[in-house]
């Protein structure tokens, strides 16, 4: 298993791509148990750095494997601890910006599947998403980013991040998120935006103002106490 | 004691009646007059967040179409009147 993951980086370096067939093979044999170790996770990050033509299959595999690693490696499962959050940020940050859209997808996916993540990861994710919506280009799972205005794909990214269980305020909008929506609104007021943007802004800020929310998740410490039961 | 709907209705009514050309400070002016503890009339948690909203809307001294849509939505959600009675 480890050899196959190690081979990824070399394969990516050789031709700048990892084919759909290679990913399928890895899913069937190397990743059959759905788990990777820290060394294999490092290999995925290195391979992603070498891939110059990331396919949808590669991005999906990268995000799925690493989000599972980040969220479920340390107990209690579903809770990202401070060490893991710091290591994730250190691995994907390049001079204050996320290095690739696959890594942006990874951060959003971690927020979506985690019960809770440390504050610095939430804050980092929020700033990177704001930057990507305003200046990003390229394809994401949600569609293509456009530096002009806010399109449907960018609305989808924002919605996923803001209402994620591991977000700043689970299934509701925090003050920091509402302020980000205002900054995005001001920056794109006279651009051509997707119709969904006005709806997201209105409902997002109203969610913060009116206090729509669901129950808070268990703290990481309390979840650890209950997990053996 | 003002009811919840009346509190928000007063707030929103003033906001919605303000033209885009007017400063939003005017819309909030009487609401925030210290001689009129109007923020006390607003229900929690909206009352405590009202200065936050005012500062953001006031930042460019213009009530744009997105902000108008936000205030209209809040009025609809809370069942508050958007015009003063």
SS3 content of chain B, % helix, strand, coil (to 5): 65, 0, 35
Q: Report strand pairing: A93-94 vs A138-140.
A: unpaired
Nearest CA in chain B to A204: B70
Structure tokens that stand for A77 in this block: 């499962």
Q: Report strand pairing: A143-145 vs A138-140.
A: antiparallel
Q: What is the mean pLDDT of chain A?
A: 85
Q: Compute the nearest-CA separation of A102 from chain B (Å).
A: 31
Q: Compute the nearest-CA separation of A109 from chain B (Å).
A: 29
With an 8 Å Cβ cutoff, are B77 and A210 in contact? yes
Q: Map tokens 């399928």 to a residue.
A: A24
Q: Which residues of B touch A179 (CB under 8 A)?
A: 56
Q: Which residues of A touch B78 (CB under 8 A)?
A: 210
Q: Which residues of B touch A206 (CB under 8 A)?
A: 70, 73-74, 77
Query: In the prediction, which pLDDT does B19 show?
Result: 44
Distances A138 to A20, A154, B57 between C-alpha atoms, Å: 20, 11, 32
The count of CB pairs under 8 A between chains A and B is: 37
With an 8 Å Cβ cutoff, are A201 and B52 in contact? no
Checking if the pLDDT of A3 tops 80, the result is no
Entry pTM: 0.75
For residue range B4-52, list pLDDT tens digits in order. 444 455 555 555 555 444 444 444 433 333 333 334 444 455 677 888 9
Query: In the prediction, which pLDDT does A5 show?
Result: 73
Which residue from B52, B60, B74 is facing A210, i.e. has the nearest CB?
B74
With an 8 Å Cβ cutoff, are B45 and A210 in contact? yes
Q: Is B48 on the interface with A (CB under 8 A)?
A: no
DSSP A52-69: SS--HHHHHHHHHHHHHH
Q: Which residues of B touch A181 (CB under 8 A)?
A: none
Interface test with B, best of A202, A211, A212 (most B CBs within 10 A): A202
Rounded Cα–Cα distance for residues B12 and A96 (Å): 40
Rounded Cα–Cα distance for residues B65 and B16 (Å): 11
For residue range A23-55, list pLDDT tens digits in order. 888 888 777 788 888 888 988 898 888 888 888
Q: Which residues of A touch B11 (CB under 8 A)?
A: none
Which residue from A179, A185, A209 is facing B66, i.e. has the nearest CB?
A185
pLDDT: is B85 or A112 the higher one? A112
As for the ipTM of the complex, it is 0.75
Q: Map tokens 């936050």 to a residue.
A: B52
With an 8 Å Cβ cutoff, are B64 and A201 in contact? no
């Amino acid at each position: 298993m480890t050899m196959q993951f190690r081979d990824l980086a070399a394969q990516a370096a050789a031709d700048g791509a990892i084919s759909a067939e290679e990913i399928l093979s890895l899913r069937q044999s190397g990743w059959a148990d759905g788990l990777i170790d820290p060394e294999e996770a490092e290999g995925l990050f290195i391979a992603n750095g070498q891939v110059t033509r990331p396919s949808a299959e590669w991005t999906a595999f990268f995000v799925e494997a690493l989000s599972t690693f980040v969220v479920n490696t340390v107990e209690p499962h579903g809770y990202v601890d401070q060490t893991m959050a710091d290591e994730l940020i250190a691995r994907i940050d390049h001079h204050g910006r996320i290095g690739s859209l696959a890594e942006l997808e990874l951060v959003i996916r971690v927020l979506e599947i985690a019960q809770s993540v440390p504050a610095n990861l939430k804050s980092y994710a929020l700033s990177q998403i704001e930057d990507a919506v305003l200046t990003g280009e390229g394809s994401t799972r949600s569609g293509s980013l456009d530096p002009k205005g806010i399109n449907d794909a960018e609305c989808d990214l924002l919605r996923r991040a803001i209402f994620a269980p591991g977000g700043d305020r689970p299934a509701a909008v925090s003050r920091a998120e509402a302020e980000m929506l205002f900054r995005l609104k001001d920056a794109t007021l006279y651009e051509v935006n997707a119709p969904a943007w006005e709806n997201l802004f209105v409902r997002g800020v109203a969610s913060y103002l009116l206090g729509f929310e669901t129950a808070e998740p268990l703290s990481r410490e309390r979840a650890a106490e209950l997990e053996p039961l | 004691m003002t009811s919840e709907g009346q509190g928000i209705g007063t707030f929103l009514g003033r906001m919605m009646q303000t033209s885009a050309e007017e400063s939003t400070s005017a819309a909030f002016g009487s609401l925030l007059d210290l001689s009129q503890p109007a923020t006390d009339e607003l229900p929690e948690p909206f009352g405590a967040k009202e200065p936050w909203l005012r500062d953001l809307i006031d930042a460019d001294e213009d009530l744009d179409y997105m902000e108008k849509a936000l205030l209209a939505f809040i009025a609809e959600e809370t069942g508050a009147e958007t015009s003063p009675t």
